[in-house]
Structure 1
């Protein structure tokens, strides 16, 4: 009986993947203000002369809160609304969603609208982006970041933009090397240990989309070596042997990262109203930890 209760169903797995997707979307949206200008210029090819962020809420429902809205004037003198959605998974209803946004935006702002869906997961998406019916023709721009070189993002001076390199094309470069460059980049420009730690944890979450956990651990091992003199945990490891100390440091960092990730996933699952027992099954957290979220 106990074994049957602990069995993970297909529905449980779907809930877990939904939680992971929400975590990735949350991280991307946290950095959106710094990421957006570069994506608009380098990926969408729009030269902005002036920009005004607009309220994101169109109605008081979850389904009608766009990810990013701006009123812009481009280098050709045209003024219009630019609407961007970030997607970490395919949505079979995306064409209808974007059409709904388009209608509401045109009605509210009385301006032309340019719409883009930035796809983070794979080089291609199966989402429908065209509607061609009698008396109705509609299209939005579907852009997959893996069609663009990671160097576009790595060459940026902003840490938040460097993180986006994990979604881009690695140009036949080894994933471990790309991850190292991202980690070095955010460490050099992270502006304080607290920010550096935050960027590393964000990368740990984003990297799940490309299933590069093993490569991340190897890359983190390189970064960890530079923390030996600062971290008492590593100092103790040095006394017993530098390699053993670094390995323990990596394991400790991994454990902390996994716990933080579990807390974030549990927080999203709790928001969705999932039972505590189900949250415990996926995250391995205790009831007090989940209640405290």
Structure 2
């Protein structure tokens, strides 16, 4: 009696944040469901978790292959079910997304012949209204209505998660619905959350790496953040967080190297490749 969980990503574009999403949900699968789908979490028996091989489906009409990157087999407490989590990290919408969800649902059902609970996670950079239903009907007959659960991160209020000790919620604060003026506050609350959690270095690095991929403060914001941190009760604990300040030290070193390379008159394109800073950051260093 098993429950299979699929996390699939669109194969049309490979970018670093795709892998970050996959690793985050794969590593903290239980915590992900606990934070965003508590009803689902409540019904799953997490004592049995078994990652399955990646699934590849081919669209025979279009000749395209789609990849199911993460498949986890586990058990429900009472009922067998096939749970599909579709991670959509793209910043643009696709009009037929709801239909594609049904296509994957059908392909997976044909293979496993078990009930399926599909979930889509949207990580767009802007708020959107995503359709979570696909139907086939005629004026004279209704064939089917297919529904899936959906999480639109930009519609989530980040303040609702800062009291939790959930690592996925902490990481995904960076993709939720905050304003530009709230960036420093979100970063500060993220650090406060991290002081309450204890993980091994690899998991800690994953959470920090994910967060900083999407919410990285500039130098002025970092200075303001440091001033605000001094005023909070957890200031000592925050300053002990190794990866945050380790990454900042590396960032300062890259900026120093970029500055020296600019003095030597090297092209910005070369400096980007060597330091991994973006052109905007290098241009800012050049103006100083």
Q: TM-score range by the shorter chain?
A: 0.5 to 0.7
Corresponding position: 1:206 with 2:214: yes
More helix by share: 1
> Which string of whole-angstrom CA distances, capped at 9 and with x for unpartnered residues, describes residues 165-214 of structure 1?
22234599933122112134335646567765554333221227xxx657
Paired residues for 1:41-190 under 5 Å: 41-44=34-37, 45-46=39-40, 47=42, 48-50=44-46, 52-55=49-52, 57-59=54-56, 63-71=65-73, 73-74=75-76, 77-88=78-89, 89=91, 90-121=93-124, 124-134=127-137, 135-151=143-159, 153-169=161-177, 174-186=182-194, 189=197
- Native 8 Å contact 2:32 2:168 kept in 1: no
Aligned length: 228
- Native 8 Å contact 1:59 1:65 kept in 2: yes
Match of 1:277 in 2: none
Q: Equivalents in 1 of 2:153, 2:24: separation in Å?
A: 16
> Which string of whole-angstrom CA distances, capped at 9 and with x for unpartnered residues, describes residues 198-254 of structure 1?
54333221227xxx657863566467997999x9xx9xxxxxxxxxxxxxx968625
> Which string of whole-angstrom CA distances, capped at 9 and with x for unpartnered residues, describes residues 19-44 of structure 1?
7x822222121121343323323322
Say which of 222, 225, 229 aligns to 1:217: 222
More strand by share: 2
Q: Equivalents in 2 of 1:52, 1:193: separation in Å?
A: 23
Higher RCO (Cα < 8 Å, 6 or more apart)? 2
Report the TM-score when normalising by structure 1.
0.58
Q: Equivalents in 2 of 1:133, 1:159: separation in Å?
A: 40
